[in-house]
Amino acid sequence: MNSNHSPEEFDSKPRSPLGQAEGIPLSKDAILAHLVTERIGRRLQILEEIDSTNSHLGRMAEPAEDGTVAAAEHQTLGRGRHGRQWISPPGRNVMFSILLKESSTPAPILTLIGAVAAAQVLSDLGAPVGIKWPNDIVAVEPLSTQDSSWRAPGRKLGGVLCESRSCGRGRLLAILGIGVNINMLPSDFPEDLRDRSTSLAGLTAMFWDRNLLIAAILNRIEALESLAADDSPVAIVEAARRICLTLGRRIRVRGGEWEAEGVAVDLDPLGRLLLRGDAGEITPLELGEVTQTRSVE
Ligand code: BTN
């Protein structure tokens, strides 16, 4: 897997122990200085406040160039999947969206690309994270005597919202939005989310420069997207499979009107979750929310 930024590079960049850092603001120059992409992020907007970076790029999709990125210090109407809100206090986290015009990569694979890219960057920085299918970036639950599996999905620190529409000839106009909690402390989370959420700072006991993280995630996304376009989505699915904490667990999945239960056995080449029901039948799931997981004894 291509890695454009090594952990050593990050080690030489500004970060500071918890409690001593001044917030470093988002800066176009700082992000561009660390970008090694050809398309993604070369047009870059830093927004002090916006409703949602996904909605913003949706409004300007026609004139804007492919690869345009909008990153925000604050979203007033940040959106998650299933009509949920994405809540983040100003100036602490990473929230950005990428406009992809005429993308040949299907939306479920773009979602996996966003989740894998963010998870790989956070892992390089020493945070034990993986993905909860299809779009959550979660901490790896520590080994416990109650649970024989160390691959359990734990607290959430990020998510991906991919919104797309067909533009013909099998191509998509897609907006890939990513939110990752970076410099949030437990007291920053609303009470109802506090025991289900974490941040990069929470996992590493460091505050981080968000500009470097945005550049590193964009670099990784472009590398993965080219891989998907040149080769096939299989390489992306393979990378996702390696860090997918949902696999091998008994789960319940909820869609709009349906609910299914079984063991998450694998991802198929289209990025769908293969669920084995109690009668042994395998159902490929394209979307859904995993509501409960436990290890399979
Ligand atoms: C989820 O976990 O349900 C997805 C969360 C996605 C949040 C990001 S933040 C940047 C972009 N703008 C939005 O309104 N949402 C995405």
- pLDDT tens, 193-251? 888 999 999 999 899 999 999 999 999 999 999 999 887 899 999 999 999 999 999 99
Residue 230 class from Cβ within 10 Å (0-12 exposed, 13-18 middle, 19+ buried)?
A: exposed
Instruction: Report which of residues 243 and 18 the model is more confident about.
Output: 243
- Among protein residues, the one with the nearest Cα to ligand 1's atom 9 is 179
pTM for this predicted structure? 0.91
Spatial separation of the C-alpha atoms in residues 98 and 229, rounded to whole Å: 16
Please give the mean pLDDT across all residues of the chain.
89
What is the 92 CA–ligand 1 centroid distance (Å)?
15
Which pLDDT belongs to residue 291?
Answer: 84
Q: Hey, which residues does 174 pair with through a beta bridge? A: 100, 164
pLDDT band at 294 (very low <50, low <70, confident <90, very high): confident
Spatial separation of the C-alpha atoms in residues 99 and 29, rounded to whole Å: 20
Residue 145 reports pLDDT greater than 70:
no
- Among protein residues, the one with the nearest Cα to ligand 1's atom 7 is 179
What is the 110 CA–ligand 1 centroid distance (Å)?
14
Beta strand 153-166 with 172-180: parallel, antiparallel or unpaired? antiparallel
Span 160-166, mean pLDDT?
Answer: 96
Residue 148 reports pLDDT greater than 60:
no
- Tens digit of each residue's pLDDT (9 = 90 or more) over 75-123: 999 999 989 999 999 999 999 999 999 999 999 999 999 999 999 999 9
Which pLDDT belongs to residue 150?
Answer: 55
Residue 50 reports pLDDT greater than 50:
yes
Which pLDDT belongs to residue 10?
Answer: 43
Span 142-146, mean pLDDT?
Answer: 58
Q: Hey, which residues does 177 pair with through a beta bridge? A: 97, 161
Which pLDDT belongs to residue 122?
Answer: 97
Which of 59, 86, 92, 193 has most ligand 1 atoms within 8 Å of its beta carbon, as the pocket-test mutant? 86
What is the 180 CA–ligand 1 centroid distance (Å)?
9
Which pLDDT belongs to residue 263?
Answer: 96
For the chain, strand residue ranges (E) read 15-17, 44-47, 69-72, 94-103, 129-132, 136-140, 153-166, 172-180, 206-208, 249-254, 259-267, 273-276, 282-285, 289-295
Residue 9 reports pLDDT greater than 80:
no
Residue 21 reports pLDDT greater than 80:
no
Give the length of the chain. 297
Q: Which residues line ligand 1 (CB under 6 A)?
A: 52-54, 75, 78-81, 84, 86, 95-97, 135-136, 159-161, 177-179
The ligand 1 atom nearest the CA atom of 51: 14
Amino acid identity, residue 270? Answer: L
Q: How many CB atoms lie within 10 A of CB 172?
A: 20
Task: Tell me how far CA of residue 274 lies from CA of 105, 131, 133, 188, 267, in angstroms.
Answer: 20, 16, 11, 36, 6
DSSP codes joined into one string, 250-297: EEEEE-SS-EEEEEEEEE-TTSPEEEE-TTS-EEEESS-EEEEEEE--
Percent of the chain with pLDDT over 70: 89
Which pLDDT belongs to residue 3?
Answer: 39
Q: Hey, which residues does 17 pair with through a beta bridge? A: 206
Cα 106–Cα 129–Cα 28 angle in degrees, nearest 5: 70
- Among protein residues, the one with the nearest Cα to ligand 1's atom 15 is 79
Residue 19 reports pLDDT greater than 70:
no
What is the 111 CA–ligand 1 centroid distance (Å)?
11
SS3 content of the chain, % helix, strand, coil (to 5): 30, 30, 40
Beta strand 136-140 with 289-295: parallel, antiparallel or unpaired? unpaired
The ligand 1 atom nearest the CA atom of 82: 3
